Structure 1
Amino acid sequence: MPVLIVLMLALGCGHASRAPAGRRPPPNGPSPRASGSDASATAAQLSEETRALLRAEGDLLWTRWTTGSGPLPASALAEHPRLLQRESIDTVSAAAARSSGSDAVALGLLSQQLATLAVSREAGAEIDALERARSQLAFPAPGETRATLGERDLDRLLRDEPKAQKRAALAQAEAKVAQTLAPLAIARDAAVDKAIAALGLQSWAAVQERAYGIPLADLARLAESTLDATERVGARAVSTASVRNLGITADRLRRADLPRLARTALADPQFTPGKAWPTVRDVLALVGAPPPPGLRVDAEPSPSKGARPLALLVDPPADVRLSLRPAGGFEEQRATLHEGARAVGGTLIDVPRWELAQLGDGCAAEAVALLFESLAGHPEWLRATTQLRGEPLDDMVHTEATRRLLAARRAAALVLFEIRRREGPGTPEAQAALYRGLLQRALFVVLSDDDAGRWALEAESSMRSVTPLVAAVLAAQLEQSFGASWWTTPRPVLKQIWAGGRSLRAVEAARALGLTQLDPAALAAVADERLHYSAPDAPPAPPKPDYKYMQGDKKKRRKRR
């Protein structure tokens, strides 16, 4: 067995070492206008204005999600032009440098937030052009010429299509259209780099390191060690799942097959409409964190609402909302476990400043949400909440373990993609080759030339995949630390993590468990345990037909008189 690499993240990644997201003034550039007490007073005003902006964006998003109408959340920024000025970043950075303790951390987070807003404004035209093209991306169904299918439809179509040839045709049609995004992605990247330079924010790498509090070299090592640690168990999981769920061997697996590989429709009848949230409430109560009365839950089954559950931390801990549209099914239950944990965790935040609650990478809080989500693949939880037994239970446990592994490995590959694509040639061909190699390694599938051209659909101006990667590793460590049936007893550690808000780093959360490192070997171990699970009993016998209500196949003969 290959040696599993354990990543030691520096303890300095915590609160105490988070440098404020200030800038180095370029030659002949303007100097900060505020200093001393003036800088602190102005920073306090900018803090309140940023908080007001986030509240407004949250209200707009809630309205659009629950009603399907209303202005876009991004429109709220137009009312706060001062937050986009270079001087605002300078002022908050200066105030952070003169502060200490939680004030310094909060102002550092605020400075980073303002820098992100300023970069988005400077590169706004190119960013909007790419996002608009992505949202409008459409492709034709196989055998048709009119583009009627959207990007958001693809996973559902591939998951529900039983024929491999049709899945391949759907994926190819989407991939060919996605290749048209490459010039827009390259233009967006160039505009972001130019904006970072104009604002004196050093470099793209420096901005990302300040955002996550981890050097890019350490993030790359975490991604590599995750791929290495889960290589063997991941290959075994995909090999068995491809035979079990698709009827093909792993060497024939293609990108188009992945959604159906993790299909969970078998368990849908076990999760009836309206039961998902009560089930999550029961779990939260058992771990000692029942949903408080102040949590705003909208569970109306309105067809205009967003289909999936959504936890929205508008102004935590006072204003936290949860939108549900009860429809039933396994995936709804899994998503409600995740979002329900996020919502209740938001109500338990206990920090001295709002920035510590709402700003930061959110890796620790996301890890807890993934821990609750993992119950959907936990055999003991499934036995307690459903009638799944025997082979159907085995299939669900093994399929969920495979999905969880692939999600973490995909996040690791995309972290490496974002780092390495900026180190090499910026041509579409080079980006496609890098994307293809990393995704094939992570997902154990073959990507065609057309599939490789999808890189522009997933390339980001930041590193959004860091949070799901770090959270997946920490969630596995939490599960290992808590042990079997962890959800049946109070877990004070969860409250400690939730109390830290989005600003709590993953390494700080690990310390609450007595750990000092993020170890991807935990993810491999948890998955391996799931894949070895074998239900101790046979599935329940199917119900016998009620012959009393069945009609005979012979007509009644009349008696002769």
Structure 2
Amino acid sequence: MSAAAAQLSEETHALLRAEGELLWTRWTTGSGPLPASALAEHPRLLQRESIDIINAATARSSGSDAVALGLLAQQLATLAVSRAAGAEIDALERARAQLAFAAPGETRPTLGERDLDRLLRDEPNAQKRAALAQAETKAAQTLAPLAIARDTAVDKAIAALGLQSWAAVEERAHGIPIADLAQLAESTLDATEQVGARAVSTASVRNLGVTADRLRRADLPRLARTALADPQFTPGKAWPTVRDVLALVGTPAPPGLRVDPEPSLSKGARPLALLVDPPGDVRLSLRPAGGFEEQRATLHEGARAVGGTMIDVPRWELAQLGDGCAAEAVALLFESLAGHPEWLRATTQLRGEPLDDMVHTEATRRLLAARRAAALVLFEIRRREGPSTPEAQAALYRGLLQRALFVVLSDEDAGRWALEAESFTRSVTPLVAAVLAAQLEQSFGASWWTTPRPALKEIWAGGRSLRAVEAARAAGLARLDPTVLAAVADERLRYSAPDAPPAPPKPDYKYMQGDKKKRRKRR
């Protein structure tokens, strides 16, 4: 490797460390510069000449060096595209961040896109849910021209930098041909069609009291509501519970893992694993509040954090660059415990019908998450093959999301496409990881979390650069197979708890009597 290539490698490594530090500070304190500001200190990484230097070094290398330099070239190419199309990208991101709408009955637009799912999940009234969703979709209509301008600028930047095409950049990022990605997404939708429709039909009656044909987009967050189980997960117990699971599978959390458990209100609310410079510098932020959602998220992020400490590769690029599908699959495997009936029986007091409800609801959520990711992968691929008008994009988005989620999208809902359209396809990782996680779960067998699993260490050791297909082979699997995701979900949906829920405690009437005052006797 030339001296120039080595310098670019070290400078990129320094940039990622700086971004990690800034993100950690903002997440744990709520203040400080944005992580993206670190790039201003490294203008050389944005030049086309830097990409050419790394590409030349890649051509002269072999083995792990060639793989690492190829990942570095892809990273620099993405940075260069972002810089060249920076004005249009920033305009869209700014508009998304500033998107605001008013709650029904209010006049001031004080709510943002990030508030919507929480509001829809907590709102029991269907008409109010519909009004909330409609208010957000109306606000999102203004984003369409900005999204189209962003796409045009990205395509021009890719051509100017000699990166061939958007499809070529995507293929290098994921190590999978675009046609194969589209096929995986289609296969996932096809394989999970019947079980998904059954899951949504049952959940809509159980959780919303309506039949599936009356479901709308605004109903989806409440369809998978898990508040029933919140009392089972008390504050401060989420991370110890995850530590116990990690110890059972033979991968205990190492002492070097930096955990910040302070319940500060200025911190990010959800758990976050941050691999600043793995395996030596891995951090986990927690803000204990209790509840089912926190436990599920801690299972996911705890697995990511411990997995980061077990990376064992010869170059930093192999640890930190790549799409991370394999590591994300393991995180989703741990997350799936939140919907595993045997784990829930061992961890909580849920029994009988309440346990059934949680298992079935989680299976439905898991299916819909994978199907949504598949639909968005197809959306990103197909929208670049057809007309780039707002009407065409909205029609494509509407058709794919209706198919994936089994709900009706209105004309206004279809206009949300600009909120979800991406420069590069982020939905590939959750799709591939969801399929691989289900295969790992099936191959490990029942109660997989109770015995050591050496395959997990092997997958984690590969870092972000380990491809999903390579991880599948490490676990003894031949290929990615979405039918397994359908089979695992079907098994969960058929689960019926073998026992009745515990009897409610009998009221103690002795302590329910009002204070008795002694009456004065009349003389």
Aligned equivalents of 1:482 and 1:491: distance in 2?
8
Aligned equivalents of 2:346 and 2:328: distance in 1?
25
Look up the SS of the partner of 1:320 in the other structure.
Answer: strand
Look up the SS of the partner of 1:238 in the other structure.
Answer: helix
Aligned equivalents of 1:499 and 1:526: distance in 2?
26
Aligned equivalents of 2:514 and 2:108: distance in 1?
51
Deviation at 1:128, TM superposition (A): 0.5
Aligned equivalents of 2:433 and 2:101: distance in 1?
34
The superposition leaves residues 431-489 of structure 1 with CA deviations (integer Å, 9 ceiling, x where unpaired) of 00000000000000000000000000000000100000000000000000001000000
What are the equivalent positions in structure 2 for 1:130-279 lying under 5 Å apart? 130-279=92-241
Aligned equivalents of 1:560 and 1:305: distance in 2?
65
Deviation at 1:545, TM superposition (A): 1.4
The superposition leaves residues 280-331 of structure 1 with CA deviations (integer Å, 9 ceiling, x where unpaired) of 0000000000000100000000000000000000000000000000000000
The superposition leaves residues 492-547 of structure 1 with CA deviations (integer Å, 9 ceiling, x where unpaired) of 00000000000000000000122221000010000000000000011011111122
- Extract unaligned runs of 5+ from structure 2: none
Aligned equivalents of 1:242 and 1:442: distance in 2?
16
Aligned equivalents of 1:554 and 1:125: distance in 2?
75
With 482-491 and 545-554 compared, the bigger mean Cα shift is at 545-554
Deviation at 1:556, TM superposition (A): 5.8
Deviation at 1:548, TM superposition (A): 1.7
Aligned equivalents of 1:120 and 1:506: distance in 2?
26
Aligned equivalents of 1:349 and 1:221: distance in 2?
31
With 140-149 and 81-90 compared, the bigger mean Cα shift is at 140-149
Look up the SS of the partner of 2:276 in the other structure.
Answer: strand
What are the equivalent positions in structure 2 for 1:245-394 lying under 5 Å apart? 245-394=207-356
Aligned equivalents of 1:128 and 1:61: distance in 2?
19
In structure 2, the residue matched to 1:522 is 484
Aligned equivalents of 1:117 and 1:90: distance in 2?
14
Aligned equivalents of 1:353 and 1:159: distance in 2?
44
In structure 1, the residue matched to 2:513 is 551
Deviation at 1:550, TM superposition (A): 1.7
The superposition leaves residues 190-209 of structure 1 with CA deviations (integer Å, 9 ceiling, x where unpaired) of 00000000000000000000
Deviation at 1:558, TM superposition (A): 4.9
Deviation at 1:143, TM superposition (A): 1.8
Aligned equivalents of 2:103 and 2:489: distance in 1?
36
Which of 455, 467, 474 pairs up with 2:436?
Answer: 474
Aligned equivalents of 1:266 and 1:442: distance in 2?
26
Spell out structure 1 runs of 4+ moving beyond 2 A.
552-561
Aligned equivalents of 1:94 and 1:210: distance in 2?
16
The superposition leaves residues 220-262 of structure 1 with CA deviations (integer Å, 9 ceiling, x where unpaired) of 0000000000000000000000000000000000000000000
Aligned equivalents of 2:134 and 2:406: distance in 1?
18
Deviation at 1:553, TM superposition (A): 9.4
Look up the SS of the partner of 1:263 in the other structure.
Answer: coil
Look up the SS of the partner of 2:110 in the other structure.
Answer: strand
Aligned equivalents of 2:249 and 2:152: distance in 1?
48
Aligned equivalents of 2:421 and 2:518: distance in 1?
72
Look up the SS of the partner of 2:480 in the other structure.
Answer: coil
Look up the SS of the partner of 2:267 in the other structure.
Answer: coil
Aligned equivalents of 2:105 and 2:57: distance in 1?
62
Aligned equivalents of 2:218 and 2:155: distance in 1?
34
What are the equivalent positions in structure 2 for 1:56-71 lying under 5 Å apart? 56-71=18-33
- Extract unaligned runs of 5+ from structure 1: 1-39
Aligned equivalents of 2:13 and 2:109: distance in 1?
42
Aligned equivalents of 1:143 and 1:327: distance in 2?
31
Aligned equivalents of 2:323 and 2:365: distance in 1?
24
The superposition leaves residues 157-179 of structure 1 with CA deviations (integer Å, 9 ceiling, x where unpaired) of 00000000000000000001111
With 508-517 and 290-299 compared, the bigger mean Cα shift is at 508-517
1:99 has 2:61 as partner: yes
Deviation at 1:145, TM superposition (A): 2.1
Deviation at 1:41, TM superposition (A): 1.5
Q: TM-score, normalised by structure 1?
A: 0.92
Aligned equivalents of 1:250 and 1:315: distance in 2?
47
Deviation at 1:555, TM superposition (A): 7.0
Aligned equivalents of 1:302 and 1:356: distance in 2?
34
What are the equivalent positions in structure 2 for 1:528-547 lying under 5 Å apart? 528-547=490-509
Look up the SS of the partner of 1:322 in the other structure.
Answer: strand
Look up the SS of the partner of 1:145 in the other structure.
Answer: coil
Look up the SS of the partner of 1:311 in the other structure.
Answer: strand
Look up the SS of the partner of 1:239 in the other structure.
Answer: helix
Look up the SS of the partner of 2:441 in the other structure.
Answer: helix
The superposition leaves residues 349-402 of structure 1 with CA deviations (integer Å, 9 ceiling, x where unpaired) of 000000000000100000000000000000000000000000000000000000
Deviation at 1:557, TM superposition (A): 5.2
Distance 1:298 1:554, change over 3 A: closer
Look up the SS of the partner of 2:424 in the other structure.
Answer: coil
The superposition leaves residues 57-109 of structure 1 with CA deviations (integer Å, 9 ceiling, x where unpaired) of 00000000000000000000000011011000000000000000000000000
In structure 1, the residue matched to 2:52 is 90
In structure 2, the residue matched to 1:43 is 5
Deviation at 1:554, TM superposition (A): 8.3
Aligned equivalents of 1:287 and 1:389: distance in 2?
25
In structure 2, the residue matched to 1:403 is 365
Deviation at 1:549, TM superposition (A): 1.3
Aligned equivalents of 1:333 and 1:522: distance in 2?
25
With 544-553 and 183-192 compared, the bigger mean Cα shift is at 544-553
Look up the SS of the partner of 2:464 in the other structure.
Answer: helix
Aligned equivalents of 2:484 and 2:269: distance in 1?
33
Look up the SS of the partner of 1:312 in the other structure.
Answer: strand
Percentage identity across paired residues of the two chains: 92
Aligned equivalents of 1:301 and 1:273: distance in 2?
10
Look up the SS of the partner of 1:391 in the other structure.
Answer: helix
Aligned equivalents of 1:459 and 1:179: distance in 2?
13
1:114 has 2:106 as partner: no
Aligned equivalents of 2:231 and 2:161: distance in 1?
55
Q: TM-score, normalised by structure 2?
A: 0.99
Look up the SS of the partner of 2:398 in the other structure.
Answer: helix
Look up the SS of the partner of 1:188 in the other structure.
Answer: helix
Aligned equivalents of 1:560 and 1:321: distance in 2?
75
Distance 1:552 1:74, change over 3 A: closer
In structure 1, the residue matched to 2:401 is 439
Deviation at 1:144, TM superposition (A): 2.0
The superposition leaves residues 19-46 of structure 1 with CA deviations (integer Å, 9 ceiling, x where unpaired) of xxxxxxxxxxxxxxxxxxxxx2111110
Deviation at 1:560, TM superposition (A): 6.0
